[in-house]
């Protein structure tokens, strides 16, 4: 029969506590990565929406710059000039 050795109860408790905290942090990082992925997807979708709408406005008004505060339009010089 083999003698089973164990660490002290206090050492085991500390080890378990640190391992538990590490697991919690790992889970939180995973949740943040999922949230980040979702936000990046939403960002790309919104960026495309902005680009598409800007293209629609360009068809109507030509090559312009729109002030987002008040909607005023500034014509942009064409690349031919």
Question: In angstroms, rounded to a whole number, what is the distance separating the alpha carbons of residues 51 and 4?
Answer: 69
Question: In angstroms, rounded to a whole number, what is the distance separating the alpha carbons of residues 61 and 53?
Answer: 12
pLDDT per residue as tens digits for the range 45-69 = 999 999 999 999 999 999 999 999 9
Whole-model pTM: value is 0.71
Specify the pLDDT at position 1: 66
């Amino acid at each position: 029969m083999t003698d089973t050795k164990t660490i002290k109860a206090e050492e085991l408790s500390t080890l378990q506590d640190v391992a538990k905290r590490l697991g919690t942090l790992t889970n939180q990082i995973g949740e943040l990565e999922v949230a980040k992925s979702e936000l990046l997807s939403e960002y790309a979708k919104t960026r495309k929406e902005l680009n598409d709408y800007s293209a629609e406005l360009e068809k109507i008004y030509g090559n312009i710059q729109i002030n987002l505060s008040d909607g005023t339009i500034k014509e942009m010089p064409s690349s031919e000039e």
